[in-house]
Amino acid sequence: MPVITLQLVIFITVAALAIASALGMLFSRNTVYSALLLVFNFTTVAFLYFMMGAPFIGLAQITVYAGAIMVLFLFVIMLLGTEQIARIEQLSAQSVAAVLLGLVIITEAVVVFLLRNPTSLVVTSGGDVVSVNEIGGLLYSQYLLPFEITSFILLVAVVGAIILTKQEKPAGKAVEGEVKK
C-alpha cells in the first residue's frame, strides 16, 4: 500500500469526480445535462493527462472533445428537441442485468489489477513532459502513413455527414429546380 501523498489525494479526488460525472451522465433524464456532465468528465480526464505530463493530449481533449464534439452533441440535441424521451421502458430487466454485469466486470477488473497481480509499474506525476515537438516529430516520421489516413477518414466523415443530412427532395422537382438555377 503506497504512502498517502498529495498526488494520490488529488488523483483519487479527480477520479471520484470523473466517475461521479460519468454516473450522472448515465442516469440523467435530460440529455442536455448528460452532455454537460460528460464535458465535465472529459475535463477531469484532461486534468489527469496534465498530471501525467501529456499537455498536448490534455489540451486536445479539452478543445476537440469537450469543445468541438460536445458542442456538436448539444447542437444536435437542441436541433432535434429530443432532450427527453418518453419513459416507457420495454427492457427494464435488461437494464438491471446490464448494471449487474457492469458490477461484475468492475469487480473483475479490481480483482485483476489490484488484488491478484498488481503491476509494479508506476505513473510519475510532474516528471518529464512530452512536448508538442516530440509528438509532431513522431507524427510526421514514424506515423506518417496513419496520419495521412486519418486525414482521409475525416474527409470521408465530412462528406458522409453532408450526404446523410442533405434534405431529400422529390426526384422530379429537384431536377427541375436545378435546371432553373
Partner 1 sequence: MENATTTLYFHLVPLVVFLPLAGLVINLLIGKKLGEVVSGTIASLASGAAFVVACLLMLSLRSNPEAVVVPFAEWIRVGGLAVDWAFRVDTLSVTMMLVVSGVGTLIHIYAIGYMHEDVRLNEDPGRFTRFFIYLNLFIAMMMILVSAESYLMTFVGWEGVGLCSYLLIGFWFEKGKEGTGNAIAAKKAFITNRVGDFGFLVAMFMIFLQFGTLSFSELAHVSAPVGALGTVVVAGIGLFLLLAVTGKSAQLPLFVWLPDAMAGPTPVSALIHAATMVTAGVYLVARSAPLFELSPVGPQAVAWVGTLTALFAATIAVGQYDIKKVLAYSTISQLGFMVAAVGMGAYVAGMFHLVTHAFFKALLFLSAGSVIQGVEHGHHHDPHADHYAEFDPQDMRNMGGLAGKMKVTTAVYIIGALALAGVAPLAGFFSKDEIVAFAFGKNPVMFTMLLLAAFFTAFYMARQVWMVFFGKARTTAAQGARENPLVMTIPLMVLAVLSLVGGALNLPHVETLGKWLEHTMEGLHPAEFNWLVAGISLAVAFTGIAAGWFFYGRRSWQPGQSDPMKKLLGPLFTAFERKWWVDEIYNALLLQPYKDLSAILAEPVDQKLIDGCANGLGRMTGWFSRGIGVLQNGLVRSYALVILAGVAAILGYLILR
Partner 2 sequence: MNTIPMSYYLVLSAVMFTLGAIGVIIRRNPLVMFMSLELMFNAANLTFVAFSNAFGNANGQIFVFFVMVVAAAEVAVGLALIVAIFRTRHSIDIDLMNTLKN
Binding residues among 48-67 for partner 2 as defined by CB under 8 A: 48-49, 52-54, 56-57, 60-61, 64-65
The residues in 1-20 that bind partner 2, with binding defined as CB under 8 A, are 2-3, 5, 7-8, 11-12, 15, 18-19
In the list partner 1, partner 2, none, the entry touching 116 (Cβ below 5 to 8 angstroms by class) is: partner 1
The residues in 92-151 that bind partner 1, with binding defined as CB under 8 A, are 94, 97-98, 101-102, 104-105, 108-109, 111-112, 116
Please identify which residue in the block is written with the cell numbers 473483475.
108
Report whether 139 contacts 147 (CB < 8 A): yes
Q: How many CB atoms lie within 10 A of CB 141?
A: 9
CA–CA separation, 98 and 51 (whole Å): 33
Q: Which residues contact 29 (CB under 8 A, 6 or more apart)?
A: 84, 87
In the list partner 1, partner 2, none, the entry touching 26 (Cβ below 5 to 8 angstroms by class) is: partner 2
The yes or no reply on residue 91 touching partner 1 (CB under 8 A) is yes
CB-neighbour burial class of residue 46 (10 A; exposed 0-12, middle 13-18, buried 19+): buried
In the list partner 1, partner 2, none, the entry touching 111 (Cβ below 5 to 8 angstroms by class) is: partner 1
* Secondary structure (3-state) at 29: coil
The residues binding partner 1 (CB under 8 A) are 90-91, 94, 97-98, 101-102, 104-105, 108-109, 111-112, 116
